[in-house]
Amino acid sequence: MSILLTGGLGYIGSHTAVELLSAGYDVVVVDNLSNSDLSVKDRIAQIVSSTRKIGEDNFKVYVGDVRDENLLNKVFSQNKIDAVVHFAGLKAVGESTKKPIEYYDNNLISTLKLLEVMRKFNVKNFVFSSSATVYGQAKSMPIYEDFPVGATNPYGRTKLFIEEILKDLYAADNSFNIAILRYFNPIGAHDSGLIGEDPNGIPNNLFPYISRVATGKLDCLSIFGNDYNTPDGTGVRDYIHVVDLAKGHLCAIKKLEQNCGLQIYNLGTGKGYSVLDIVNAYNKVCGGKVKYKFAPRRPGDIDICYASPEKAEKELGWHAERDLENMCKTGYNFECKKQK
Ligand code: NAD
Ligand code: UDP
């Protein structure tokens, strides 16, 4: 079976490519390299080569934009695609408030073009990378899939709009099988240290920021707010190891093969950790190098957010296995290797 990963050289896409290839799937990637590097292709191949011999027929990368219909036509004519996982998109909340047009253009148009070409080639299995951000500040924890949604920024709205587009598409053509995966906070890296999260410039997200402080690339972490309604006052999130998250995609693809219709799944651990919990856990693996200070709240942040992963466990047979220590160890290992 051949799976198309849009954005497959990015953080979550690259880990998913490794899991799919290792499980015997063939993988085709379309990525415009706006937030990734072509060298990731070789690193994915290197990781997989220890368990499977792969050639050009098993793993192909097209460098280009998902909004480019001609490119998509080429990809679907040259490969017999069985299912698509749509990772490609812009994902920075803060940036989306400054560049809403770019966010709506990239995230919405890429999805529409992709669905149009899929329909043309009669490819009807689709996995979409959505986000816990669609829940906003939920009224109670844990968050279940049927909780009300409502995004507070353009990035989140692109995810919500795409979810609505997918529901309309399914209502019009129920031969589609669609898994909407709402990711919580993916962190950590592959055990090899060859792939991980490597944002350009100063990281917006907590974990890559901590990794850079731990390796001396940045001085000090600012913890945004210590007066939240949480046990230690700092924000609480559901951090999930990226390899666990990647494995969730395999389970979702298997589910699509059973003609599941449209389904929404939370992919999280069900546990909430505060910013201070993350700093303390990271300091245990790096020898206390993460310095921090408290700073004002970041606008738009919520107190607390963690998933109920029950539906994914029950229907996909998936649950997260790795603990916070492993997330920090693998993240630190990746960040240290990057220096060389
Ligand atoms: P990423 O930026 O590392 O990966 C996205 C990849 O898509 C990059 O390689 C980028 O070059 C590519 N891309 C972007 N626009 C493209 C386009 N128009 N055409 C072709 N390629 C394009 O991000 P990620 O963390 O791997 O996230 C993957 C998906 O998961 C995104 O849709 C994101 O919104 C979603 N998501 C991520 C998180 C997170 O915390 N990382 C949380 C929830 C949801
Ligand atoms: N955070 C922080 N300092 C940073 C980045 C993030 O204190 O430099 C906090 C943020 O306020 C939130 C948590 O870390 O409570 C997770 O933020 P992140 O941006 O990683 O993910 P989000 O849940 O906002 O998508």
**pLDDT tens digits, residue range 43-84?**
999 999 999 999 999 999 999 999 999 999 999 999 999 999
* Cβ(22)–Cβ(45) below 8 Å: no
**What pLDDT was estimated at residue 200?**
84
Residue 225 has pLDDT above 60, yes or no: yes
Distance from the alpha carbon of residue 263 to the mean position of ligand 1, in angstroms: 21
User: Atom 28, ligand 1: which residue's CA is nearest?
Assistant: 87
Mutate to test the pocket of ligand 1, among 11, 117, 182, 264 (most ligand atoms within 8 A of CB): 11
Please state the atom number of ligand 2 nearest to the C-alpha of residue 221.
8
Q: What is the mean pLDDT of residues 237-263?
A: 97
Which ligand is closest to the CA of 61, given by its number? Answer: 1
Residue 36 beta carbon below 6 angstroms from any ligand 1 atom: yes
Q: What is the mean pLDDT of residues 171-200?
A: 97
SS3 259: coil
pLDDT in tens, 106-136: 999 999 999 999 999 999 999 999 999 999 9
**Per the residue annotation, which of 103, 155, 228, 306 is the catalytic one?**
155
Q: In the structure, what pLDDT confidence band is assigned to residue 137 with cuts at 50, 70 and 90?
A: confident
Distance from the alpha carbon of residue 276 to the mean position of ligand 2, in angstroms: 11
Q: In the structure, what pLDDT confidence band is assigned to residue 142 with cuts at 50, 70 and 90?
A: very high
Please state the atom number of ligand 1 nearest to the C-alpha of residue 199.
3
Neighbours of 241 (CB within 10 A): 23
Distance from the alpha carbon of residue 208 to the mean position of ligand 2, in angstroms: 10
Residue 7 beta carbon below 6 angstroms from any ligand 1 atom: yes
Mean pLDDT, all residues of the chain: 97
Neighbours of 222 (CB within 10 A): 12
Residue 74 structure tokens:
């080429």
pLDDT in tens, 195-223: 999 988 899 999 999 999 999 999 999 99
Which ligand is closest to the CA of 218, given by its number? Answer: 2
Distance from the alpha carbon of residue 166 to the mean position of ligand 1, in angstroms: 18
Which ligand is closest to the CA of 213, given by its number? Answer: 2
**What pLDDT was estimated at residue 4?**
99
For residue 155, indicate whether it is catalytic.
yes
**What pLDDT was estimated at residue 339?**
55
Neighbours of 160 (CB within 10 A): 18
Distance from the alpha carbon of residue 201 to the mean position of ligand 2, in angstroms: 16
Residues across the chain:
340
**What pLDDT was estimated at residue 152?**
85
Residue 167 has pLDDT above 60, yes or no: yes
- 145 contact partners, CB below 8 Å, separation of at least 6: 182, 264, 265, 266, 308, 311
- 77 contact partners, CB below 8 Å, separation of at least 6: 121
Q: What is the mean pLDDT of residues 148-167?
A: 96
Residue 222 beta carbon below 6 angstroms from any ligand 2 atom: yes
